[in-house]
Amino acid sequence: AGGHVLAEGPRFVFESKVVVTDAVVAQRLDELKDWLQAGGKRWSGPYTLARYNDPFTLPWNRRNEIHVRLENH
């Protein structure tokens, strides 16, 4: 999948160390949704895409995150 989920209080962060395109974001959102549903959780509201890379960062060193707020938190 190229990423992992980090629990941070009422927010979950899915980290992905690849170049972020709309297709990658859609794929990661689907994976995150499936992972959350398997744990009996859902997110509410919009997601936030966080990018922490300068233009010269190599793809395997990139840090991109999708932040979602869980329902009932």
* 41 neighbors 11 (Cβ within 8 angstroms): no
Reported as type and span, the H/E element at residue 26 is helix 22-38
What pLDDT, in 10s, does the model give residues 19-42? 778 888 888 888 888 888 888 888
Higher pLDDT, 9 or 20: 20
Q: Record the pTM.
A: 0.68
Res. 64: pLDDT tops 70: yes
| Residues paired with residue 13 on neighbouring β-strands, in sequence order | 6, 67
What is the average per-residue pLDDT within 53-68? 80
Tell me the CA distances in angstroms from 26 to 30, 32, 57, 67, one per residue in order.
Answer: 6, 10, 22, 13
